Amino acid sequence: MNSMQLMAARIVAPVLSSILLVAGSAAHAAGNVKAGHEKARMCENCHGLDGRSKVPEAPNLAGQIENYIVAQLRAFKAGERKNEQMSVMVQALSPQDIQDLAAYYAAIELTVGKIPGQ
Ligand code: HEC
């Protein structure tokens, strides 16, 4: 390699790797709502298929902020957040499952009814 080629390689390599990084994260950045709907059957007993909790310990997920759901599921999986039920549930979820489930629950339309105290 002559010095020009070496210089070109020094410039091109980081640019290429950053393009690959962006492409890689884009590949599973977007959740698929339809796939998430199917996968949400795993969550139905506690969070409801409609995202309204069915048990007193579980929170509602309908209309929840997508990034927040992703962050919580990742935290459970990494052991940064712990819960007897959720810590077990998330073990089987792939990064794509997490994206799909978050997209699905976030896409459930939420309407607010009577606000107390008004
Ligand atoms: C056996 C019951 C059960 C099942 C099944 C279950 N969860 Fe949960 N989930 C819980 C409980 C209980 C909590 C509250 C955890 C806590 O108190 O920290 C929770 C919390 C969460 C949270 C955090 C919500 C918040 O407001 O911070 C998310 C997100 C979540 N669950 C998603 C899911 C998804 C997605 C599935 C299906 C793959 C699922 N859960 C299956 C019981 C369940």
Distance between Cα 29 and ligand 1 center (Å): 21
Over residues 1-38, the pLDDT tens digits come to 677 666 666 666 655 555 444 444 444 469 999 999 99
Instruction: Report the pocket of ligand 1 as residue ranges, CB < 6 Å.
Output: 42-43, 45-47, 57-59, 61, 69, 72-73, 83, 85-86, 89, 101
- For the stretch 23-37, what's the b/e string if a residue is b when 16 or more beta carbons lie within 10 angstroms of its beta carbon? eeeeeeeebebebbb
Over residues 59-95, the pLDDT tens digits come to 999 999 999 999 999 999 999 999 999 999 999 999 9
Q: How far apart are CA 36 and CA 17, in angstroms?
A: 31
